[in-house]
Amino acid sequence: MSGFLITCMKTNREMSMFSEERLKDLRKILHENPELSFSEHKTASIIKDFVSEVVGKSKLFILHEPFETSVVVEYKGGDPDDPHVIFRADMDALPVKENSLNHYVSGNEGIMHACGHDIHMTVLCGLVAKVAEDTPSKNILFVFQPGEEGAGGAKKMMESGFFDKYNVKSAFALHVTDDLEFGEVGSNGDVLFAIPKEIDVVFKGNSGHAAYPEKGNDALAAASSFLANVEHKIRKVINPTEIFLMHFGKISGGTARNIIADEVKIEGTLRSFDRNIMSLASEEIKNTAENTAKNFGCRSEVTVLGEYLEVRNDPDLFNMLKKVCDDIDIKCIEKKAGLVGEDFCYFTDRYSGLLFWIGTRMPGQEEKQLHSETFFPLDEVVPEGVKILFSLLTLQ
């Protein structure tokens, strides 16, 4: 939790390096070095190097590393008693094998910045650079947060107590999306992102030779029956006017084709805007797993790994975003809440907060999906993001 002063020298040559080109280089190196949740060591190092470079010997900046791979750059441009504004970027990548046709690709096989966190970090670094140049009279925390992808990094940062000593006025974050065109942003003044709940469903049977199914208990048969029925089952306990999503994204089980699988694990996520619906859903999943397991002579184990909160935007901050966008000729679209989850919820739960989408799709370009191997937003969004965040800062 202790900070240290950045004291490295800032030469004229380095000063001139802060530019869109420098941010493009930064984004490239971040994209080429993706790391999974809480393994963002190189990422943190790249960020610290960049911050040192642009901040130089300024005593207005303090670098903190409060929690695991997190990096917080504190800027003390305001009066000591002024409240702080938080700008937050997430750092982790996903276990996705990048499409080799992307402009440049991950150097870590099987890991990819498929959710645009490389852009988020680059924007935040750009904002640090802009603040270092303009030295506004504000107190700011630039928060680089690890473990957003289902790992609950934001919650852990809150629980670390690091923010307790700050009086935080507001917290901002942005998220890239190809759902909007470049030049558009989207948000609202209410709930923007859903409650995500991570759930593991494990079936345990008894192995044996495939030729004698009657002598074993097939965990894979139970798992496939569960998957085939659970969507239907759950729709019978949730009123159809409620918004609810259940998705199972990963499965593994069994040891060989000719052995009865003794264990199959299914990894899923649930989403809604209502905490009661979430409880109802996980209860029904437990029941369905238990009954299905029993039906196949197996046992089931359902584990809730984590449940976030909904991301709830502050209506005043959304109005500010609309004003800022008007001023700099960006189209601000009022978006309805989506079933994406974001642990920025722990910031909006504690502080007045605003999360907004920033469009990345170029005109005429096909929409690429978040978390897919082809998601590769262009660098142009970076200076736009910096501009919006800096404008929001001036209104705080």
The residues assigned a catalytic role are 90, 149
Closest-CA residue to 148 (of 236, 222, 43, 237): 43
What is the number of other CB atoms lying within 10 angstroms of the CB of residue 128?
A: 24
Member of 73, 123, 260, 317 binding its own copies (CB under 8 A): 260
Nearest approach in angstroms of CB 171 to its own copies is 22
CA distances from 355 to 78, 283, 287, 334 (A): 24, 30, 36, 12
Closest to its own copies by CB, 106 or 207: 207
| Alpha carbon distances (Å) from 200 to 205, 286, 300, 305, 310 | 16, 10, 10, 7, 21
251 binds its own copies (CB under 8 A): yes
| Whole-angstrom distance, CA of residue 128 vs CA of residue 140 | 10
For residue 216, report the phi and psi dihedrals to the nearest 5 degrees: -125, -175
Q: Is 261 in the site for its own copies (CB under 8 A)?
A: yes
What's the CA gap between 355 and 334, in Å, rounded? 12
Instruction: Count CA atoms closer than 13 A to 347's CA, side-chain side.
Output: 29
Q: Which is nearer to its own copies, 37 or 396 (CB)?
A: 37
Q: How many residues does the chain have?
A: 396
Least distance in Å: CB of 290 to its own copies? 18
Contact segment (CB under 8 A) with its own copies among 18-26, 43-51, 253-261, 287-295 equals 253-261
Show the tokens assigned to 104. Answer: 């440049």
**Binding to its own copies (CB under 8 A): which residues in 109-168?**
114-115, 149-150
- DSSP class of 5: E
CA 105 to each of CA 102, 173, 361: distance values in angstroms, whole numbers, following the listed order? 6, 25, 19
Residue 267 in the binding site for its own copies (CB under 8 A): yes
Q: Measured from the CB of residue 229, what is the shortest distance to its own copies in angstroms? A: 8
Q: Is residue 255 at the binding interface for its own copies, with CB under 8 A as the rule? A: yes
> According to the binding rule CB under 8 A, does residue 8 interact with its own copies?
no
Cβ neighbours, 10 Å, residue 338: 20
Q: Which amino acid appears at position 50 of this protein?
A: F
Closest distance of CB 279 from its own copies, Å: 19
Using CB under 8 A, pick the residue from 247, 275, 323, 336 that binds its own copies: 247
* Residue 212 binding its own copies, by CB under 8 A: yes
Cβ proximity to its own copies, 95 vs 107, nearer residue: 95
The contact mask relative to its own copies for 47-86 (x = CB under 8 A, - = no) is ----------------------------------------
**Which of 6, 94, 158, 332 lies at the binding interface for its own copies (CB under 8 A)?**
94
The alpha helices in the chain, defined as continuous H runs, are 12-17, 20-32, 41-55, 117-134, 153-159, 219-234, 275-295, 315-327, 345-350, 381-394
Find the binder of its own copies among 60, 237, 243, 245 (CB under 8 A): 245
Task: State how far the Cα of 114 lies from the Cα of 137, in Å rounded to an integer.
Answer: 36
Residue 258 CB burial class (10 angstroms; 0-12, 13-18, ≥19): exposed
- CB nearer to its own copies: pick between 140 and 199: 199
Residues near 224 by Cβ (< 8 Å), separated by ≥ 6? none
Q: Which stretch binds its own copies (CB under 8 A): 23-31, 80-88, 158-166, 241-249?
A: 241-249
Q: Are 94 and 112 in contact (CB under 8 A)?
A: yes
- From the list 41, 59, 209, 275, which residue makes contact with its own copies (rule: CB under 8 A)? 209
14 vs 200 by CB, closer to its own copies:
200
Residues from 335 through 354 that contact its own copies (CB under 8 A): 338-341
Please tell me the distance from the alpha carbon of residue 146 to that of residue 44, in angstroms, as a whole number. Answer: 9
Q: Binding its own copies by CB under 8 A: which of 34, 186, 216, 353?
A: 216
Residues found near its own copies in the complex (CB under 8 A) = 94-97, 114-115, 149-150, 194, 196, 198, 206-213, 215-216, 220-221, 223-225, 227-229, 245, 247-262, 264, 267-269, 271, 338-341, 367, 369-373
